[in-house]
Chain A
Amino acid sequence: MIQVQNIRKSFAEGDSTREVLHGITADFFDGKTNLIIGQSGSGKTVLVKNIVGLFMPDEGHILYDGRDITVMDRRQLKDLRKEIGMLFQGSALFDSETVMGNVMFPLKMFSTLSHSEQMDRAQFCIDRVNLTGSEKKYPSELSGGMQKRAAIARAIALNPKYLFCDEPNSGLDPKTSIVIDELLSDITHEYGITTIINTHDMNSVMGIGENIVFINKGHVGWIGTKDEVYDQDNDDLNNFVYATDLFRDVRKYRLVHGYKK
């Protein structure tokens, strides 16, 4: 479990500073797809970068199964990072490497497996994300969805305990988005990973949101599950959730038909 406790983060803006996160507290559970949702500019990405240690918070604590990342020295942080996999918004695959090379990369750097065992593990991960046959392709030869799947394969190569995904569906069509969402959800349940997905895609929220943290202007606006989203009375969350016609229609339908879970 990852616990975020009263995180504050500011950035310099000219001569002054601007606080982006105003005391965020939330828990992210093992074996569940934890979603951080919110509008663009609400502080989601800054929060995720704080959690993974790319930024250090000005105040507060981040506990990985009780281990506080904010007080770790470089060596401890390095060891922890070997337990973390991350899927970036733009996939962040290495251009100069093939799909196999990308998935092999963390194995070559950290595992004690022999070369053939590394190849087997990489092939297993590639097969798991349904990219069989694309091992020798370079990222530039892959579609957006395939790049995302290759990045997921790389992220799970070392059997991470924690998986972070920053906007995994950005730039993807709705059908491919669902494929990626289901893949992330399946992997999470299969391996019992603590998965944190940063998204503003409502389809993802309603599809795989087992624990949802809504961030609004740097504060935690609401916490709940996908089943609770429709029945809450948080104005900010409602403005976010019902921003599209589709979800307004769903809400109208539910109100007319009195649908409850």
Chain B
Amino acid sequence: MVITRSLESFGNYCMFLWRVFGVPEKWREFFKRYMSEIYKLGIDSIPLIVIVSLFIGALCTILIKLNINNPLLPRYAVGLSTREIILLEFSSSILCLILSGKIGSNIASEIGTMRVTEQIDAIDIMGINSANFLVMPKILGLITILPFLVVICMATSLFGGYLICVLTSIVDVDTYIYGIQTMFIEWYVWFALIKSLFFAFVISSISAYYGYTVQGGSVEVGKASTDAVVMSNIMILLVDVILTKVMLQ
């Protein structure tokens, strides 16, 4: 029963995506909405990303310093480990888990409310493909902006670590800077950016699907919004495991 239902949901999700990726009715309107979604989903998230990244960067530095007490390990290992954690996991996967809460619930509740208030029916009645009109700008907008957010997250997190070194002298600042520069593997940055493209698609498409298919009223919209975030998080972690295995091994 569960398997049948899951397969049915997956089939519906695929059919939904088929409708989403059609040719827009009017390219001009599409680009307007696309730019607006980039602003709404991406630019509006920068304050949250900066705050979270600063704290996480600082926390990573403190915790690594506390847990690396072996005198055989060089002192720059704190900066190096902080950088690796941030590049490999935090800046893409953990950031997207956080963003799925903000962006995913936003998308699901916005589209879900449009569904229950018949706004989507109104678009369909006019002969417009509502899935394409509403969802494609969101998916493409998030795919466009998320890599930039990831870069901001990387820089801010490393700066958070730097700030904690300056403010508390937990690690010598020069040693920290040396640590975050040493044995740098450029591929890790690309790895994080590539992962973010997949995560952007996962967050936006799954949340939009839950919102678009909601039936009922405000209670169901709330439930769809929660379900969208939960499912997005699960899929982000699944995709993360697959991509890490494929791209780093």
Contacts and interface: CB of A to CB of B under 8 A. Distances in A.
A80 B124 CA distance: 12
Contact of B26 (A78, A90, A92, A109): A109
B127 A92 contact: no
How many B residues are at the interface, by size bracket? 10 to 19
Interface in B90-131: 113-114, 117-119, 121-122, 124-128
A52 B119 CA distance: 15
A93 B122 CA distance: 8
A95 B125 CA distance: 18
Contacts of B118: 88-90, 92
Contacts, number: 47
Which of B119, B126, B128 has the largest number of chain A CB atoms within 10 A? Answer: B126
Which of A52, A109, A110 has the largest number of chain B CB atoms within 10 A? Answer: A109
Contacts of B114: 94
A94 B126 CA distance: 13
Which of B26, B119, B127, B128 has the largest number of chain A CB atoms within 10 A? Answer: B127
A110 B122 CA distance: 14
Contacts of B113: 95
B127 A108 contact: no
A84 B121 CA distance: 13
Contacts of B124: 54
Nearest to A77: B127
Interface string B23-56: 0011001000000000000000000000000000
A110 B126 CA distance: 9
Nearest to A49: B121
A88 B26 CA distance: 24
A79 B118 CA distance: 21
B127 A94 contact: no
Contacts of B122: 86, 88, 92, 94
B126 A108 contact: no
A193 to B, nearest CB: 15
A94 B125 contact: no
A79 B126 CA distance: 9
A95 B25 CA distance: 21
A128 interface: no
Interface in A106-134: 106, 108-110
Nearest to A151: B122
27 contacts: A54-B121, A77-B127, A78-B127, A80-B127, A81-B125, A81-B126, A81-B127, A84-B125, A84-B126, A88-B118, A88-B122, A90-B117, A92-B118, A92-B119, A92-B122, A93-B119, A94-B119, A95-B113, A95-B117, A108-B26, A108-B29, A109-B25, A109-B26, A109-B29, A109-B126, A110-B126, A110-B127
Given A90-B118, A92-B119, A95-B117, 11 more contacts: A79-B127, A82-B127, A84-B125, A84-B126, A86-B121, A88-B121, A88-B122, A89-B118, A92-B118, A94-B114, A95-B119
